[in-house]
Amino acid sequence: MVSILAAKRKKILDLTSAGPTVSENDIKSRLVAYASDQSNSSVEKSAIIGDVPVRQLRSDDNGVLRGDALLTAVKEDLAKGLIPCCLVATLGTTGTCAFDNLEELGPICQEYNIWLHVDAAYAGSALLLPEYAHLKRGLEYVDSFAFNAHKWLLTNHDCSAMWVKNANHLTNTFFTDRVYLKHTDAPMNTQSPDYTHWQTPLSRRFRALKLWMTLRSYGLKGLQAYLRKHISLAKKFADLVEKDDRFELVCPPSMGLVCFRLKGDNDLTNQLYERLMSHKQIYIIKASFQGRPFLRFVVTSPETNQCDVAFAWNEISHQSSEMNLPRGSSSVAKRNSTVVTKELTNGHANSITILDGNPIFTEIAKNSNETPHGTYSSIPNGITHGHPTEIPNGSISHILTNLHRVTLHGPELEHIGVDDNLIYDTNDNESSTKRKSNNKLEDLDAILSEKENVLRSSVISIC
């Protein structure tokens, strides 16, 4: 909103300063702004407040706003006597996390004196990563840039950061000359900006402090590791989607976002979404691109790990199976089980039922610090909450309850302990000590590494 208002005021001052050939009201009535058809709803709301019509330009097949679309629109509007004043480009669109082409858009904005604002609310945080340095191309043309630290930079809501090339345009827009606002420093000349004249409110909360604390606490490397973890988890989820022939990716995974849908009629994806919402095991958002509905799986929580990704996918896969969709020969469709026996204590062995078909856990085993022993394959497609199954007191088992449900029962998991990637029976102090020192259950090393995930409920997935 601040950028649109500043762009509007700048255009009015530019045209009226040349001479009184046109009135301010006439200019206001002919102003027009531009944004992609994939832009956030906040752009539309800001334009309503700023009283500047926004023309939504069609993005390409990848959801990217290109230079030719903007140039065509600008020439059309100039021919109609309209006055282009602002373009809101997006780095990381809400629907598919696409990136508008600033290298193409920037020169056009410069040629036609159009304010270029960049909305990087979610994906702006990824500019901390050198592997995404190419996204900075074209930023030299930008007049203002905003991103939300609360979306993907470990900062509590709300915290939005904005950069502006020339702050005088903000002062020209929001300056008000009231007696109770006067002070010794002239707002245009002081080296310490008077933010009262940079915005609509006179004051605001000290949001910068919590962002500063985050930067100081985690440092650049810590924040980069955090972002890369989410990107990696999203790629693992995308791999699961691609290996199931019932699903398709709408676009390549971008940052921590995966956009996917069921193949076939749009109604199938809509049905799946309704099933997921009614069962309330996971929360997911539906969106639409070029008339096709799809589901958005996005990794943004600091607590999200591979088990959560697997749980979400298993719920999605299970609900899809309940729709009785035809299945082909995809790897996820495999239902062959392998029983792996691990001796936890002398004379006591527990059977762990593991099904083929979920490549994410094969990857976990492959990347484990210790090579898995035995016939370790993967976790089944469709592990979800199921009905508890009675197990012998003092033992730990994963039990196959049907073709795509596995449960772990406790009772209430009270006697399950996890320490340093070890699992043991807390009801038996002597044997638990022995297990902790001698039995690492290497096949489940990565899966059972976090206690809070094991104790999440009495009936859980493999975690």
**What positions carry a catalytic annotation?**
40
Distance CA 169, CA 43 (A): 19
Q: Are 306 and 316 in contact (CB under 8 A)?
A: no
Asked if 149 and 211 count as a contact pair (C-beta separation under 8 A), the reply is yes
Q: Residue 14 and residue 289: Cα distance in Å, rounded?
A: 38
Q: What is the DSSP letter of 74?
A: H
Task: Tell me the CA distances in angstroms from 281 to 238, 275, 277, 314, one per residue in order.
Answer: 20, 10, 8, 10
Which runs of consecutive H residues, i.e. helices, occur in 112-206? 149-152, 168-174
Residue 61 contacts by C-beta under 8 Å, 6 or more apart in sequence? 290
Contacts of 18 (CB under 8 A, 6+ apart): none
Residue 100: Cβ within 10 Å count: 30
Which neighbouring-strand residues pair with 220? Answer: none
How big is the CA angle at 164 (ends 127 and 125), to the nearest 5 degrees? 20
Separation of alpha carbons 367 and 143, rounded Å = 45
d(CA 213, CA 229): 21
Query: What Å distances lie between residue 383 and 235, 378, 394, 395, 454, CA to CA?
Result: 20, 12, 24, 21, 15
Tokens of 84: 């282009």
